[in-house]
Structure formats: structure tokens, C-alpha cells
Amino acid sequence: MISFTVFVFLTLLFTLSLVKQLRKPTAEKRRLLPPGPRKLPFIGNLHQLGTLPHQSLQYLSNKHGPLMFLQLGSIPTLVVSSAEMAREIFKNHDSVFSGRPSLYAANRLGYGSTVSFAPYGEYWREMRKIMILELLSPKRVQSFEAVRFEEVKLLLQTIALSHGPVNLSELTLSLTNNIVCRIALGKRNRSGADDANKVSEMLKETQAMLGGFFPVDFFPRLGWLNKFSGLENRLEKIFREMDNFYDQVIKEHIADNSSERSGAEHEDVVDVLLRVQKDPNQAIAITDDQIKGVLVDIFVAGTDTASATIIWIMSELIRNPKAMKRAQEEVRDLVTGKEMVEEIDLSKLLYIKSVVKEVLRLHPPAPLLVPREITENCTIKGFEIPAKTRVLVNAKSIAMDPCCWENPNEFLPERFLVSPIDFKGQHFEMLPFGVGRRGCPGVNFAMPVVELALANLLFRFDWELPLGLGIQDLDMEEAIGITIHKKAHLWLKATPFCE
């Protein structure tokens, strides 16, 4: 029965593909497209994505060039893989490249209302303005300094009380979950062990679905294909669970009326959004579903990105003992007379900041960023790119470009001590958080968590692999997802530092 279904499916795809080719206008056939690999009938180049698409696309772009054209299912796709091409596109054509494709899981789990996946238009502009002014402004981020400090302090206490190696992957994910829960909802993810585990598991499943493969994203006219992916039932289940969770959170905030009771400086994210919702002067009316969409943005970007980055940093430092020693000496020499590094100290830790930059270069959290879509026909370097083409910016490939980086495969934090290149979208050689209008506005939200946690881990403890393991045994394999994590959890032995 399954074989017959597959046969019918392939026959239908062949027929649709043949009809499409016969009906394709002559002008479209003659369009000068960028080079790319040969494609198969029906699926185009979909089979060449592999299990880690950013690696597969980097390999293909090395053969076909930094501006490469693919056909992923029925979706025309442009892959950008060099700083030169990124500069050409985002300096001269940023608005045309600022669209977003409609992606099934993101639409469903984000209520069609997230800022990160919203189409380029009025809703995106207004909601992004609210996020930047109300949620992600320097003043607002600074107002949560005490939350970050308290949660990092609890992390250090947990490690100090441990006997034997600690699972740093789980501990850092718990850290970022708790910080984001307090900032977004006003309470820790610790009301009870069962509740905490439930919320953490829901967030993990949300991340898995957002990074999952849904056939309709590549064959939009064949929505029924999702039934064969095995993911649709899981998607609906986690949507209902998260929807109930968000409903409860919003009802509790309305009942508590906490924003009026505590004052604006103590508002959490839900307080702010409910206040904005009541404001008659807002350019757009904000619904509860749109509040939920913003919470999806906050949770996905705020938890996964920071925790994954901390783990990649610690893994690279374990593999590079000289860099570990230099980072620890820096923080221990500059921060004296207190038990913890505070955020006021971070600006002095130039080598540690260089370590963070180097890890973001080697391990960008989302190596293909969030897909874009071209909103109108345009010409790039003589190539004619049709409207509705999907755009993948390979941030990993750009950061490994030998034209921009000496010894790009090596872990060399020192390169950033003498380089002005940063990761905030101003330098095309390094784009871990995107660039231009669709660059990630939450970078200033995540980085204080990363830097404060890292500085304190290095300040308070000496680190080594569990007994019997050497540097060569450290598994650096990547796990696929919306954020690229280290596949194997990082277990390390922590020894309290004594001056």
C-alpha cells in the first residue's frame, strides 16, 4: 500500500512538473540566472541539502560560486555565500531582499504574528518599532541586569555544589530559560520541578518543530504532503499546549494588573505588550494572538541562541587550553575583591569579548539566518533574479571566506584584538545575526547573558574534561535545528578557583 502511494505521488509530481515546464514562458526560460548544480525532476536540488544544509550549501558554493541558484522543490532559491555578495545585495538592494517566505511551522506556532517571520510591510514595521522601543531598548535591557546577575549566581551555586562532572548544556539552557521567563513573564521557570520541566520540554519541542522539514514549504500547492511528514500531529499538539500556556500567562497578568502596581521600570514583556494593546494612539491594534507571536520570538531567540553560544565557547576553550588560560587570567586579574563578575566589569574584558566574536564566527547560531524572499525582479552582478525567489544567506560560509579571514578554520580570538569587525550587522565579513532591515533586533538582549555567564564561569572555576577523556575525544558535531547546537551534551569537571 505504501509503495503504491509513493508511486502515485511520484507520478503526480512528474505530471505537474511536465505541465509546468511546458507552460513556462519563453522569457523566463531565457532569464540569465546565477550558476548552480544540475537539478533532478520533481525535487530540483532538494536532495543536495543533506542533514546539515549550511555545510552542504557551503560545499556547493565552493564549486558554483558565491551567488548560486537552486530549485528546492518548486521554490527558486538564491544562496549568498561571500562577504562581497552580501555587501552588494544588502547595501544596494536591502528593501527588495527584505521579504519573508511563508513557512508552515513558523506561521502556525507564531500565530502568523511573529516579527522575525512577518512579511515585509506595515505590520512588521510597527511591531518591530514596538519591540525596539519598548522591549529591546538599551534602557529596557539594562533594567533586567539584576535578573541576569541573580540567575548567573544561582548557576554558579549549582555548579559549586555538584559532585563530579556537570552537564553544562542542560545547566546553561536552564539558565537562559529562567532569565527569559523572568523577563518575559515576571517569574522564574521554577514554580515547581514538574512545571519547570513541562515548560522546558514545550520550548524544546517548539524549537524542534520550527527547525523541522515540512514538504509544503517546498511544494506550496501540495499542502496534503504534510500528512506524510509525520510532523503535523506533533505540530498541532505543541501548538495547543503552548497556546494554553500563553492564555494562562495573559490572564494572570490581566488579573494581577502588575504593570500599574509596580511601575514601568519593573514591567515584564507581557506587561509592556498589554499596556501597548490598550494604547489608542498605536498605529495598529494589537490582538492577544499577536502578543503570543511576540512571546514566541522572545523565547526562541532568547533561550536557544544564548545557551548554544555559551556551550560552543566553552567547547572551543577546552580544545584550546592556551586561550582558556588567557581568558581566565584576564578576568581574574581585572576583577578583584568580589565574588562575582558584574556587568559593569564586562567592558574591560577585551580578550573574552574576542573569544565570543571568534566563536560566533565559527559557530553562528543560525548559520543560514532566517530565509528571505525577493519582493520584485532585480539584477545582481548581471544576473536576473525573479520576484518570489527565496534567499538563504550562508553566514557560516561568509565567516569562513578566505578572502576576508586569514586561517579561517582556526580558532584565533586574537584576530579580533586588532580588528574592528563586529557581529552586529555593520560588517559584511561576519553576519551571525543578519544584516539590514531584517537583522536580528534582539542581539543586545542575548549578548549580556552570554558575556556575564561566560565571564563568571571562567572567573570562579577551572575546567577540564571528565577523567579519562582527552581533547581529541571532545565531539564537536553539530545538531540540526533552527539553532545549531553541539550535538553531544558538554560534560565538564569544575574545580572552584582559589586565589
Facing residues of 166 across strands? 492
- The answer to whether 440 is a known ligand-binding residue is yes
CA distance 249 to 267: 14
227 Cβ contact partners less than 8 Å away, ≥ 6 residues apart: none
With contact defined as beta carbons under 8 Å apart, do 368 and 53 qualify?
yes
- Secondary structure (H, E, C), 331-373: HHHHCCCCCCCCHHHHHHCHHHHHHHHHHHHHCCCCCCCCCEE
Residue 408 is placed in which grid cell?
579561517
Q: How many angstroms separate the Cα of 51 from the Cα of each of 37, 58, 104, 397, 400?
A: 18, 13, 19, 16, 20
With contact defined as beta carbons under 8 Å apart, do 77 and 69 qualify?
yes
CA distance 428 to 439: 12
CA distance 47 to 45: 5
CA distance 18 to 24: 10
Residue 47: closest CA among 59, 36, 39, 58: 39
Which positions make up the binding site for heme? 440
Residue list for the binding site: 440
